[in-house]
Amino acid sequence: MATVGFIYPDHAAEDDYPFAERLLGYRISLPVEHIYGTDLHAVPELLDLGSEKRLAEGAALLARHEPDAVVWACTSGSFVYRWQGAHEQVEKLSAAAGKPASSTSFAFVRAAQALGLKRVSVAASYPDDVAKLFVDFLGAGGIEVVAMSSEDIDTAAEVGRLSPEAVVELAVAHDHPAADAVLVPDTAMRTLGVLGAIEDRLGKPVLTANQVTIWEGLRLTGQVPRCDQLGRLFAEGR
């Protein structure tokens, strides 16, 4: 059984990970360990949160689970380093863990590529300046953003308190006719339980942070189980 370890910042929507284990029939293990800092969606704080020292602490906590791969489960704490810096962040995490590593930001790019998506809409919970950095990151990965919205929510804790109905409406409200998919980029947002509802409303794929993070970790192990309950990515993306 593959084991993917996740470094998760503070507490918000980490229960998406055991929920995914259940949906995947307990065929994989998805242990989560936490690192702590401010949960403010602001560039200086995010740079600190994703620092080499903090991620090394997370890797050390995950070691007891003997993971086959590790993922930094934080979108803003990875794309804030921009394309090259995020690569260096992942390389240092891999060295600290002694395992293949990735981050949620790269997970979005690779998931979009797996589904053949070229143009997307971004439904972001972040303040506008932070959301624009995600748009830049996607562009560096060859993905065109045709529309971007920012809900201007300052902290991850606030995002974690959004109701399932609010999450669905956030994603659906920020679709765009020219978009191949809608991306919802915050691991603090519980989305796995509403993926089907969003895709049914949109009639197109939706990629959410915890969804792509789990998929990316499994991709690193070479074992991505098919699952119709985790969106088109797990049903179709290979």
What is the Cα–Cα distance from 30 to 161, expressed in whole angstroms? Answer: 23
Residues of the chain under the 50 pLDDT cut? none
* Contact in structure between 73 and 132 (CB atoms under 8 Å): no
> What's the pTM?
0.95
The length of the chain is 238
C-alpha angle 139/110/2, rounded to 5°? 155
Phi-psi region of 53 (alpha: psi -120 to 50; beta: other; left: phi over 0): alpha
CA separation, residue 56 to residues 36, 44, 67, 129 (Å): 12, 19, 15, 28
What are 155-188's pLDDT values in tens digits? 777 887 899 999 999 999 999 999 999 999 999 9
Domains of the chain: 4-107+210-227 (3.40.50.12500), 114-208 (3.40.50.12500)
The pLDDT assigned to 144 comes to: 98
Cβ distance 115 to 232 under 8 Å?
Answer: yes
Annotate the chain with three-state secondary structure. Answer: CCEEEEEEECCCCCCHHHHHHHHCCCCCECCEEEECCCCECCHHHHHHHCCHHHHHHHHHHHHHHCCCEEEECCCHHHHCCHHHHHHHHHHHHHHHHCCCEEEHHHHHHHHHHHCCCCEEEEEECCCHHHHHHHHHHHHHCCCEEEEEEECCCCEHHHHHCCCHHHHHHHHHHCCCCCCCEEEECCCCCCCHHHHHHHHHHHCCCEEEHHHHHHHHHHHHHCCCCCCCCCHHHHHHCC
Sheet holding 181-184, edge to edge: 144-150, 119-124, 181-184, 206-208
